[in-house]
Structure 1
Amino acid sequence: MTENFEFFIKTCILYDIYHWKSPENSYKTICKKYGPELISFTDFKALFSKTLIDNCNESTCKKNLAEILNSSYSALKLCILNDVICGKSIDIAHDKILEIIGKGKMAPWTHFHYWFQRFSDGNWDFGESPAPASPEFADLPIQIVKTIIENCDYSNQWTLRTVSRDLKIHVDLLKSPIGELKFRCNFDHFSLKIDKKYRIFGRENFKIQKYLYIYKDLENLEISKTENFEELAFLELQEKLSNPKLKLEVLEFKAEQCQDFEKIDKILEQIGRKLWVKSVKLR
């Protein structure tokens, strides 16, 4: 194993430890990037255990990880790729890394967006390609940008939030259009419906064909397949409900297990404020 790969693996392990990943799931991420030939699971688990012992305290882990990310642009790109492989949204990935390294020390949003989009498109090369300039849309006069955002439905507004930090701020300042949010928990997938659009979080072997009687409009469907689909679904739900401007006609939760309702209840407690909702349904 070369020194460069060893550095990447140790960084990936530290990042996964900070996110409470098991050595098995962490190894799967490594294999998706480098393949199983780079390091055996036995050697990887030993390295994971040693790193865990050295970083058993969360604050220590965060400090050591921050030092690496602030000193190595390659390490930052590796963590972005890690989040892409795990199916995280760009907002969640950015906020989590920002949480580690602190505001003011993060690479410009355009750089982060460039690498996240590049990796999402399947190009996992770490070449030092320069990040593009800010999106031209963001260069429009502020009033025009606000008018465009106001005329978008809720789902499209959340899409606009991923374009740039400036657009994210403008969207969050808006009064949320009234719509519906439905969260459904199944044994092999979770779904989050915002108005007419679905975001599906499923196991790696999830087959949408089994549920076409529910999800009929495939054009308004986005699917993320990953082993930790439940965690990502709850993170996405928390992010959506945390918007202080959110106003809903319908908020619906459907789950097959009591523990899923308990997690939903915990999210609502963490938000720490009342939600503006006209109708709530529990199924």
Structure 2
Amino acid sequence: APMRSDVLNFVHDSLRKNSRQPYAVSSKAGHQTSAESWGTGRAVARIPRVRGGGTHRSGQGAFGNMCRGGHMYAPTKVWRRWHRRVNVQQRRFAMCSAIAATGVPALVMARGHRVDKIPELPLVVSGNVEKIKKTKEAVKVLKKLRAWSDIQKVYQSKRNRAGRGKMRNRRHIMKRGPIIVYKKDDGITRAFRNIPGITLLNVKYLNILKLAPGGHMGRFTIWTEGAFRTLDKLYGTWKTGSTMKKGFHLPSSKMTNTDLNRLLT
């Protein structure tokens, strides 16, 4: 499928918004004082001012967004349109682009993955990997595939988060490692889940937020044989449509031959 980063970015951005929680300031914020304008003739601004005396607060401007302690401009409301609906065909097109990019070494390396020693991309392993139940066996598999250097990169990338998240149980951040796509979970999730940076996905429930984090296509993906064969049924081939998604055919490029001289002669 054509790798359309613009479609992928749009879909990723929209789907990511669906996990947002509504927030808003209090409807009373900035108005919890009795203030009234002094009117004209006093050579001061007509902004409402706090009543009373005997304190620095009396006589200070109130309510306005230009005042200390006043309300904000356009206070946030919980009824904002937080979520986005994305067309099914667009979602499928973006997913096809993300899957196609996992087989392009240049795009995978551009995301920062250490794949220079990987035998080939896309990387497809035997279905026996799905039956692994121990983490030490999973580590052996990754070392045999020469994918362990990408995990070491994740270990070395652990650092403190910038901003307030440090105080909200999100103190550390790490880079993303490989994603493992399987067909049947016979223990594979238990084996790989404790290795930092690794994401596990069932081929029938592929997630574009995991396959292309941040909207950047080309995440290093390890497919099991069964999962890789299922892709033909899920999204079809160039000759046949999908048997699992009604009416879906792989998107094709409008220009099949980019050699203009050959077309014109």
More strand by share: 1
Of structures 1 and 2, the one with the larger relative CO (CA 8 A, separation 6+) is 2
More helix by share: 1
Q: With the length of structure 1 as denominator, give the TM-score of the two structures.
A: 0.24
Q: With the length of structure 2 as denominator, give the TM-score of the two structures.
A: 0.26
